[in-house]
Structure 1
Amino acid sequence: MSIDPRRLLVFREVGRGGSLAAAARALGWTQPAVSQHVQRLERDLGLPLIARTGRGSELTGPGRLLMRHAEAVAAQLDAATAAMSDLAGLRAGRVRVAAFPSASATLVAAAVASVTAAHPTLDVRLTQVEPEEAVALQVRGQCDVAVTFDHVDRRRSADAETVPLLRDPLLAVLPPDHPLGGHARVALADLAGDRWIAGCPRCSRQLVDSAAEAGFTPDIRHRTDDYVVVQSMVAAGAAVAVLPRLALTASRHPDVRVVPLDHDPYRTVSASVAATAVGVPAATALLEHLRRAAAALS
């Protein structure tokens, strides 16, 4: 025994209207079509549901019991329709974003502020993690949008839709009295004799690889992925560093000298949307506000 949901809802209209004719008018159908659906439902269940009378139709005992279930099903469908309408209209919904520190402090903060201003009832949640962990969160279904970076212009090979947001230039950060601090540009090889501060593992690899291409091995004395600490160490004359522009936008020490590097190296900042969030209005809205924030920073 099974109940066809469509026939159940047709039967509900008969019960509510008190006749096949009233149900036909409510549904915009012909009366024979309504009668056919009710008869098939009765055959499916093996029970009489409607007794035809001179005044129309009356529900039988089984019909009255089924009517209560039909009303409950209709109420649940109405609630589901309302919930989907709220999600589609951005009156409800949740989007979880994971981003690395300098992006969190700049473009993500701006995007979260603007999207929640436009849609105050959206539930937007940020987790600050490095790119590898952001991707891992997305793979585990714990993140809808991951903001990550690569030091080459490429798209991540993953089960996600990836959208480049901006190119983030890498800049030399020098002590205030460094002899190259006043130059318009500096080559990485010109800093071969300096002591260095290295950042996160991915950034450290990029520094070592770039230095090798420039013909030297950097003398790394300090390691920290906190760009505030990096700048404080540089300002104190302890070492030099290379930082992305986003980090300097988020927090700039007044005593460091920032000089562009030859060949204009950069990292590509991207947003990847989990396959389960593609097309979901909340995630789509956040991505659009990330694009706007990135354009403002470019």
Structure 2
Amino acid sequence: MLDVRRLRLLRELARRGTIAAVAEALAFSPSAVSQQLGVLEREAGLPLLERTGRRVRLTPAGEDLVRHAEAVLERLERAEADLAEARTGLAGALRIGSFPTATRAIVPAALITLARRHPRLEPMVCETDPAAVAHALRAGDLDVALVHEYDFVPAPREPGLTTEPLYGEAMYLAAPAAPAAPAGTPEEAGRDQGAVLRTHAEAPWITATPGTLCHAMTVRACQAAGFTPRVRHQVDEFATVLALVAAGQGVAVVPQLGITGADRAVGLTRLLMERRTQLAFRSGAGAHPAVAAFGAALRAAVPAELASPRAEA
């Protein structure tokens, strides 16, 4: 009989490519991962792995087993959901991943609703960059998470995960306000987003830290407009970004939930870009009562001014 825990390791290896990466992600030692995969090969009765230098490649049999593992793990998630639904009331921990603007603007109201409807459920929020959510969900460190994507940074399909759309946000160019402009009041960009961005091609830019979706979004939007931004500051928190813009330190692209309380020294121009937020969970877990309850509470907490997300990436 194949061991489900070892099937999880094989799936992670297919995703990450090295035993060291699997060990680091799942808090195992590399030798423990190698040992467990060796046991899985003996259980399977044929080779599942081929070593190519420092990396490990799955054999055709290994790739086929990963596909079966995805189906098995999804069925297990559905079984857990059915068992949870059969219990009386929701109780226990629900581990939630969220990014900062959603944590501030959406999640608190959702938690109030959740506490009123399911007082024995214990939501536990951990701020997690969307780029790290897939690994945390597959590893079991999170049960559900909010993730986002941008027009210039579409989210890749993640095996073993399912997403549901929540809301969309407009994007704004934040720049020091001109003396005669109505500072702090968003203006429409019109149809030529590239022209708006190129106006600031020679200005210093403020981006998120490299490796985040927000950083990639700003860089790619500027490159699509015909230039590479000259980055002066790298800051992840949008309130701090706007404070730097107000201080004349550069320009930035900021999502709708990030412009709340913008200083009057900041001029805001709406762009033809969007950030779309989804709810992510392990495939098969969408029917779990706790996940479904959190999703319903989130949707009730979304402010009316946020748009319904577009279907396309």
> For the superposition of Structure 1 and Structure 2, which TM-score range results when normalised by the shorter chain?
0.5 to 0.7
CA RMSD of aligned residues (A): 2.5
Q: Who is 2:119 aligned against? A: 120
Which residue identity lines up with residue 191 of structure 1 in the other structure?
Answer: H
Counterparts of 1:189-208 in structure 2 under 5 Å?
189-201=198-210, 202-208=213-219
Distance 2:136 2:98 in 1: 11
- What are structure 2's unaligned runs of at least 5 residues? 1-82, 190-195, 307-313
Q: Who is 2:163 aligned against? A: 162
TM-score (norm 1): 0.64
Count residues in correspondence. 212
Deviations 1:202-248 (A, max 9, x none): 22222121111111121211111121221111111111111111222
Distance 2:159 2:100 in 1: 22
- What are structure 1's unaligned runs of at least 5 residues? 1-82
Counterparts of 1:127-146 in structure 2 under 5 Å?
127-146=126-145
Distance 2:294 2:266 in 1: 34
**Structure whose alpha-carbon radius of gyration is higher:** 1
Match of 2:273 among 246, 255, 265: 265
Judge conservation of contact 1:169–1:267 (CA < 8 Å) in 2. Answer: yes
Match of 1:255 among 242, 265, 288: 265
Distance 2:158 2:135 in 1: 13
Deviation at 1:191, TM superposition (A): 1.8
Judge conservation of contact 1:197–1:221 (CA < 8 Å) in 2. Answer: yes
**In 2 relative to 1, CA 135–181 (structure 1 residues): closer, same or farther, beyond 3 Å?**
farther
Distance 2:297 2:114 in 1: 6
User: Identity of paired residues, percent?
Assistant: 29
**In 2 relative to 1, CA 142–120 (structure 1 residues): closer, same or farther, beyond 3 Å?**
same
Judge conservation of contact 2:144–2:291 (CA < 8 Å) in 1. Answer: yes
Which residue identity lines up with residue 203 of structure 2 in the other structure?
Answer: D
Q: Which runs of 4+ in 1 moved over 6 A?
A: 178-183
2:241 aligned with 1:230: yes
**In 2 relative to 1, CA 208–127 (structure 1 residues): closer, same or farther, beyond 3 Å?**
same
Indicate the structure with greater helix content: 1
**In 2 relative to 1, CA 281–270 (structure 1 residues): closer, same or farther, beyond 3 Å?**
same
Distance 2:179 2:95 in 1: 43
Q: Who is 2:197 aligned against? A: 188
2:218 aligned with 1:219: no
Judge conservation of contact 1:181–1:258 (CA < 8 Å) in 2. Answer: no
Judge conservation of contact 1:87–1:281 (CA < 8 Å) in 2. Answer: no
Judge conservation of contact 2:187–2:268 (CA < 8 Å) in 1. Answer: no
